[in-house]
Amino acid sequence: MTIRGQSVAIAGAALALVMSAALALVAVHRLSGPSAAQVIEGPYARLAS
């Protein structure tokens, strides 16, 4: 695999991981209401902003 192909594969995997984490946060937010979602989003708030 070329360096470019490897970097594209890594970027794709990272994007999939971020998207799955975002979907999980949305699911938790809808299932358990705002209070639990804020607890879980706490560590991610610094990363997102």
CA distance 2 to 40: 38
Q: Record the pTM.
A: 0.52
- The predicted structure's pLDDT at residue 17: 94
Are the C-beta atoms of 28 and 35 separated by less than 8 Å? Answer: no
| Domain enclosing residue 22, as ranges | 1-49
CA distance 44 to 49: 9
| Count of the separate structural domains present in the chain | 1
Read off the pLDDT of residues 1-49 as tens digits, 9 standing for 90 and up.
Answer: 788 999 999 999 999 999 998 888 888 777 766 565 566 666 666 665 5
**Tokens linked to 45:** 């708030």
Got the DSSP string for 1-49?
Answer: --HHHHHHHHHHHHHHHHHHHHHHHHHHHHHHHHHHHHHHHHHHHHHH-
